[in-house]
Amino acid sequence: MASWKKSVAAILLLGITCLNGCGTTGTPDYPIQPVPFTDVEIDDSFWSPRMEMNREVTIPYALQMCEETGRIDNFAIAGGLMEGSHQGYYFNDSDVAKVIEGAAYSLALYPDPELEAYIDDVIDKIAAAQEEDGYLYTARTAMTPDHMPPGGEERWSHIEHGHELYNLGHMIEGAIAYYLATDKRQLLDVVLRSLDLVEEVFGPDGMRNPPGHQEIEIALGKLYRLTGEPRYLNLAKFFLDMRGDAEGHQLYGEYSQDHIPVTDQTEAVGHSVRAAYLYSGMADIAALTGDDRYVQAIDAIWQDAVSTKLYVTGGIGATGGNEGFSTPYALPNETAYSETCASIANAMWNHRMFLLHGDARYMDVAERVIYNAFLSGISLEGDRFFYSNRLATVNGEERAPWFPCACCPSNVVRFLPSLPGYIYAHAGNDLYVNLFISGTGIVRTDRGIVRISQKSGYPWDGRVTLQVAPERRSGMFTLHIRIPGWARNEAVPSDLYRFTDQNTEEPILQINGVQVPLTVENGYVIIRRRWQEEDEVVLDLPMPIRTVAAHENVVADRGKLSLQRGPLVYCGLLCRMARQREW
């Protein structure tokens, strides 16, 4: 394994690869570590075509759209490399950053000199756009009197809506990904200089505002892992702790989850992308600091979200007005907002909850999101997108080629190639199989490398064949295979949705051709044995078509059922039909 490939682990939460000698070794992190996507090879009839599509169509297409809509020119203009003034939204820099991140993930697995040269050129423009003291925000550097960002001329004057820190957060993630994929640190140096400035401006003795739109907290956690510099972890924690601190700033309110301190929050409220990035950041910072108060808060918030604010597709954020959460059980179908970015953030959050707790219920939610609310956000051709993912429509809805606010397409570009990192995880000698996607994973345990191969026709077919081959011919490992909630008669890990039909078919487990009793703990069947290279586990997950009803408090779903087969949610059925057939 090339050293850069190993180091890309940092991108997916946990890699501890330090630039200047490692300061984080031995410091806390998630108790369960994901197997990074660079150690996972996918060979799957469902996902491989989608990953290829992202590489061959969506990445170049998104770059082209960033060019055509002036997103890349904004950097060139701010850097004095071309004439003109800023175009579009003040957070458009973040789209370029997300596409760089996605392109970097792709380059990490599939070197492509032409793409790399193109990104190098974009990075030159970004570097040019950075002001002398490190300030990087084209919306202000290239503004005109009739086109100014929130807060006008004054830097940092509208942290609530200005997105300076949000843009920087995405740029940090792009810079880390690009550095790990290519060893080139120009963009990394740019963001480090920006952060020097941010540290001068924000802090206990400076501005005590959290960013209006969260994201930088996640980025700073990754940067801490990469550099070993506690200052980045401290800054992330500072931003978390400023939220809801009325002494430090005028509170922004629930919309930005800035109504009370994060450690006192118990309900999912406000803008759903901000919220799920916040909860992901809280999980990261809890893991990295060992501060359990963040975990207690996100546990309660998760319970609220999954019990009262989750669509059957896994989408979150019911209303367009606040692009976010509504009141409990208010889950309209025709007007469902269910933003694609919110689905991505929800999957990120649930994956982190699993890494904290090791319970399959979080991966049940993540799987529901990935196969439904997320996947509907992009066409099979890879160049058309949904921003809102409605659950019902009267006149039909078409995916669009792009949006003036293009957060969703650029988010898809970076999420898809990171997906293999959600399949496997490990903690010591406990190996976890969370998603059923054919291919192989290399798990680096304390007792050596274990290679897991998986074959399945998922999501169309429920037979999964696994081979666990320790490098040293045999080894004692505990394999945890997720038995999805839907295969255990649990539609979601709450009473928000339930199966209304009777299913008597049980999952069947065989080890080396012998059926063994299937006992489920925390949503996993657990197999502890001394594994030999030729050992084979076959799991059969029956996939009958199921009918799903919502909790009676969900007024919009009264008298309606949806159909589900395996992890795929299909459609709503009208009550009359449902009643006639006596479902």
Binding site for ligand FUB (CB under 6 A): 91, 213, 273, 323, 339, 341, 405, 407
CB of 324 to ligand FUB, least distance (A): 8
Do the Cβ atoms of 54 and 382 come closer than 8 Å? yes
> What residue 285 binds from Zn ion, ligand FUB, none (CB within 5 to 8 A, per partner kind)?
none
The residue number with the shortest CB distance to Zn ion is 341
* Alpha-carbon distances, residue 90 vs 136, 148, 209, 274 (angstroms): 12, 8, 19, 17
Smallest gap from Cβ 101 to Zn ion, in A, equals: 15
For ligand FUB, the closer of residues 166 and 354 by Cβ is 166
Residue closer to ligand FUB (CB basis): 258 or 323: 323
Given ligand FUB, Zn ion, none, residue 91, with its beta carbon under 5 to 8 Å by kind, binds: ligand FUB
Strand partners, 520: 525
Neighbours of 344 (CB within 10 A): 26
To ligand FUB, the closest distance from the beta carbon of 393 in angstroms equals: 21
Among 86, 98, 94, 72, CA closest to 139:
86
CA torsion sign, 549 to 554 to 557 to 562?
negative
Cβ 97 to Zn ion shortest distance, Å:
14
Residue with tokens 């990192």: 421
- Minimum Å gap between C-beta 389 and ligand FUB is 13
Cβ-based nearer residue to Zn ion, 377 or 484: 377
DSSP state of 241: H
Nearer to Zn ion, 61 or 432 (CB): 61
* Residue whose C-alpha is closest to residue 404's, from 69, 35, 19, 26: 69
Taking CB within 5 to 8 Å according to partner kind, which of Zn ion, ligand FUB, none is near residue 483? none
Nearest residue (beta carbon) to ligand FUB: 273
Order of all β-strands in the sheet with 40-42: 40-42, 439-445, 448-456, 463-470, 536-540, 508-511, 514-516
Identity of the residue, 30 or 277, whose beta carbon is nearer to Zn ion in the bound complex: 277
| Closer by beta carbon to ligand FUB, 315 or else 439 | 315
Tell me how far, at minimum, the Cβ of 167 lies from ligand FUB, in Å. 9
Q: Does 345 bind Zn ion (CB under 5 A)?
A: no
Q: Which is nearer to ligand FUB, 273 or 425 (CB)?
A: 273
Residues 245/264, Cβ–Cβ less than 8 Å:
no
* Placement of tokens 């800054």 in the chain: 235
Is 77 within 8 Å of 142 (Cβ atoms)?
yes
Output 28 or 320, the one with its CB closest to ligand FUB.
320
Minimum Å gap between C-beta 339 and ligand FUB is: 6
Candidates 341, 479, 481, 573: give the one binding Zn ion (CB under 5 A).
341
- When CB distances are held under 5 to 8 angstroms depending on the partner's kind, the choice from Zn ion, ligand FUB, none that residue 288 binds is none
> Which partner from the list Zn ion, ligand FUB, none does 188 bind, CB cut-off 5 to 8 Å by kind?
none
Shortest reach from residue 306's CB to ligand FUB, in Å = 21
> CA 579 to CA 136: how far, in whole Å?
59
List Cβ neighbours of 57 (8 Å cut-off, separation of 6 or more). 381, 382, 383
Interface with Zn ion in residues 386-445 (CB under 5 A): 407-408
323 contact choice in Zn ion, ligand FUB, none (CB below 5 to 8 Å, kind-dependent)? ligand FUB
Nearest to 358 by CA among 440, 455, 480: 480
Give 488's contacts (C-beta < 8 A, 6+ positions apart).
Answer: 507, 520, 523
- Closest CB to ligand FUB among 30 and 374? 374
Distance of closest approach, residue 311 Cβ to ligand FUB, in angstroms: 16
Binding span for Zn ion by CB under 5 A among 339-347, 354-362, 426-434, 485-493? 339-347
Q: How would you write 95-142 as a 3-class SS string?
A: HHHHHHHHHHHHHHHCCCHHHHHHHHHHHHHHHHHCCCCCCCCHHHHC
Q: Which residues bind Zn ion (CB under 5 A)?
A: 339, 341, 407-408
